[in-house]
């Protein structure tokens, strides 16, 4: 295991809708689909993987995920294989600890003092976020954990096809292979699935994650199949998404951490002002004690505690071994826009 840094997966470690479909959020302006598509056109095309593309495959995947299998699913343990190592924060997994511990003491302490309302508390205020956020379940396809059932987090976002879930790159692909049996369970609560189980038709990630699993681009989306004739956001709603935003914003992060002291049974959140990662990655940090299984959970700006709605601006991605009190999430730039645009144009049949 990496002695210096690890994906949130190791701790056990989503855009804009068609006009009029975006959920409102205070003080924020979301780009139109046309603006988003124009900016994303310059970004490399995302990697696209067909998952459960037929009705028969979708039924099989849903049947696979019994209550017992979901309960037994654990967070990922992401480590290098052979002479190939994942880079986290600019340091290879087998490198010694850096002499400069993460963000400068002034930066980190200022961020914590100025912003942290919670570093990992149960969300009890209800609202849209309790329906749009959910657990992600899948079977690892390759590597030392091949064949093991694992969990992450994700969120339903507004989109043209009403069927897009955003999550982290390592929650759809790891060790060079896309995961199998991929489903999204919105509103998961102590084993209950109030709004069903939604198998993925298509999995997408950034080309940088696809080719080299670059933590700066640890971003992914899934397009899920309709259930009982209804699309995902028709059932649970969807959060808006923004890209290319200023850094250092007040942010709310959500997820289903399943590593101790959590057990993945309920929705947890952190809030605070983000800070830049000065260890070498281009990610943003947040004071947050969530553990593995929260990977892929949403980061919102312009979040309204009264309504539970906001604008997705990153996802839970990784932590450093020596700073478990910080969470890091990738910057949502053109690459994230391209993933979103490709996902929302993906047909459902």
- C-beta of residue 154 within 8 angstroms of C-beta of residue 14: yes
What's the domain range around 60?
Answer: 5-80+105-344
Based on the structure, what is the number of domains in the chain? 1
pTM for the structure as a whole: 0.81
pLDDT at 130: 98
The answer as to whether 87 is a domain residue is no
pLDDT at 110: 37
The answer as to whether 274 is a domain residue is yes
The burial class, CB within 10 Å (0-12 / 13-18 / 19+), for 150 is buried
The answer as to whether 212 is a domain residue is yes
The answer as to whether 111 is a domain residue is yes
Tell me the per-residue pLDDT of 123-155, one tens digit each, with 9 for 90 and over.
999 999 999 999 999 999 999 889 999 999 999
The answer as to whether 88 is a domain residue is no
Owner of token pair 């914003």: 249
Paired strand residues for 134: 154, 186
Name the band, by pLDDT with cuts 50, 70 and 90, for residue 322: confident
**CATH number for the domain including 305?**
2.40.10.120
Name the band, by pLDDT with cuts 50, 70 and 90, for residue 214: very high
Q: Say which residues have a Cβ less than 8 Å from residue 189's Cβ, sequence separation at least 6.
A: 265, 266, 267
The answer as to whether 256 is a domain residue is yes
Tell me the per-residue pLDDT of 265-321, one tens digit each, with 9 for 90 and over.
999 999 999 999 988 799 999 999 999 999 999 999 999 999 999 999 999 999 988
The answer as to whether 43 is a domain residue is yes
Residue-level length of the chain:
349
pLDDT more than 70, % of the chain: 76
The answer as to whether 152 is a domain residue is yes
Q: Of residues 155 and 78, which shows the higher confidence score?
A: 155
Torsion 286-290-291-294 (CA) sign: negative
pLDDT at 323: 87
């Amino acid at each position: 295991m990496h002695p210096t840094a690890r994906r949130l997966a190791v701790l056990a470690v989503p855009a804009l809708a068609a006009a009029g479909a975006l959920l409102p959020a205070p003080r924020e302006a979301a780009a139109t689909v046309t603006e988003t598509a124009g900016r994303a056109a310059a970004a490399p095309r995302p990697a696209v993987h067909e998952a459960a593309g037929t009705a028969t495959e979708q039924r099989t995947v849903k049947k696979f995920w019994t209550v017992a299998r979901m309960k037994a699913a654990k967070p990922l343990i992401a480590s290098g294989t052979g002479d190939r190592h994942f880079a986290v924060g600019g340091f290879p997994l087998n490198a010694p600890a850096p002499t400069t511990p993460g963000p400068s003491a002034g930066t980190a302490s200022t961020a914590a003092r100025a912003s942290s309302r919670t570093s990992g508390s149960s969300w009890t205020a209800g609202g849209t976020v309790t329906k749009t956020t959910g657990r992600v379940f899948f079977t690892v396809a390759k590597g030392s954990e091949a064949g093991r059932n694992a969990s992450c987090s994700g969120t339903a976002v507004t989109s043209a096809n009403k069927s897009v879930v955003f999550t982290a790159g390592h929650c759809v692909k790891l060790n060079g292979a896309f995961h199998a049996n991929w489903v999204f369970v919105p509103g998961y609560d102590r084993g209950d699935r109030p709004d069903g189980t939604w198998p993925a038709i298509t999995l997408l990630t950034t080309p940088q994650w696809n080719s080299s699993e670059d933590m700066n681009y640890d971003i992914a989306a899934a397009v899920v199949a309709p259930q009982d004739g209804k699309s995902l956001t028709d059932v649970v709603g969807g959060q808006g998404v923004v890209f290319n935003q200023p850094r250092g914003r007040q942010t709310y992060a959500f997820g289903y951490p399943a590593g101790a002291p959590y057990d993945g049974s309920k929705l947890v959140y952190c809030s605070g002002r983000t800070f830049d990662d000065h260890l070498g990655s281009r990610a943003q940090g947040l004071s947050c004690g969530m553990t593995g299984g929260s990977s892929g959970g949403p980061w919102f700006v312009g979040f309204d505690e009264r309504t539970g709605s906001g604008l997705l601006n990153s996802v839970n991605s990784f932590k450093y071994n020596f700073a478990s009190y910080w969470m890091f999430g990738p910057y949502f730039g053109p690459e994230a826009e391209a993933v979103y645009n490709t996902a929302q144009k993906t047909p459902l049949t």
